[in-house]
Chains A and B, each alone.
Chain A
Amino acid sequence: AQTVTQSQPEMSVQEAETVTLSCTYDTSESDYYLFWYKQPPSRQMILVIRQEAYKQQNATENRFSVNFQKAAKSFSLKISDSQLGDAAMYFCAYRSADGSGGSNYKLTFGKGTLLTVNP
């Protein structure tokens, strides 16, 4: 079974600075998808960024980018020019691309990293 590990329960960053959140995963599969979700105090789950494992290029979305290291099974999230609105719990998640046995129907989440942004 796949597992997702976020080793930093809490992180803090100064406004306007850059922070990197770590995520590692364990899988024997070669094709899969990785996601970062943000959960602010409102409890809403918001997709931040996604990466297809077959793509070598790292995904970017405005101030958010990932460092995807497939061999190391690492998928870190970098937030540049941090803003107060970035304060939230961040979850890393994995989904198989293998359609057999229904394994691609489950999103496996890490336990989350709570990000605080200091003014």
Chain B
Amino acid sequence: NAGVTQTPKFQVLKTGQSMTLQCAQDMNHEYMSWYRQDPGMGLRLIHYSVGAGITDQGEVPNGYNVSRSTTEDFPLRLLSAAPSQTSVYFCASRRQRDNSPLHFGNGTRLTVT
């Protein structure tokens, strides 16, 4: 059982470049989300989705785009990378029922120079 799979594990970008962080889950979870983790800040929600075709903004959405065309996939796009987006990114999913915990991918460490 793969769970939540994120690719790539590491990425270095130059300022202004674009890229897509991939996330896929095989647990048929309705809810998927992206968090960023910065030193001393904990994890903060970027975007989330409650099902195919439905997305919404989290706490820190600026500079990021998402789409949810299938239940399994939830990619995160950086359109024009900035040094402030240097961070570790986590994709997470869960069932919609209330007490279901988040299942996390292994994270992507992104550096923007």
Contacts and interface: CB of A to CB of B under 8 A. Distances in A.
A109 B101 contact: no
B42 A112 contact: yes
Interface stretch (A10-18, A44-52, A66-74, A78-86): A44-52
B42 A43 contact: no
Nearest to B103: A47
**Which of A91, A104, A107, A109 has the largest number of chain B CB atoms within 10 A?**
A107
Contacts of A35: 101-102
- SS class, residues of chain B in contact with chain A: strand
Interface residues of A, number: 21
A110 B41 CA distance: 8
Interface string A23-56: 0000000000101000000111101001010000
Contacts of A112: 42
Contacts, number: 51
A107 B56 contact: no
Interface string B33-75: 1010000111111001010000010110000000000000000
B38 to A, nearest CB: 10
A74 to B, nearest CB: 18
Given A105-B33, A105-B48, A91 B43 contact: yes
Contacts of A42: 106
Q: Nearest 8 pairs between A and B by C-beta? A: A109-B42, A45-B104, A109-B43, A111-B42, A43-B107, A47-B101, A106-B45, A105-B48
18 contacts: A4-B42, A35-B102, A42-B106, A43-B106, A43-B109, A44-B106, A44-B107, A45-B92, A45-B104, A50-B101, A97-B98, A104-B98, A105-B33, A106-B45, A106-B48, A109-B42, A110-B42, A112-B42
Given A91-B42, A105-B56, A109-B42, 4 more contacts: A33-B99, A50-B99, A106-B58, A109-B43
Interface of A: 4, 33, 35, 42-45, 47, 50, 52, 91, 97, 102, 104-107, 109-112
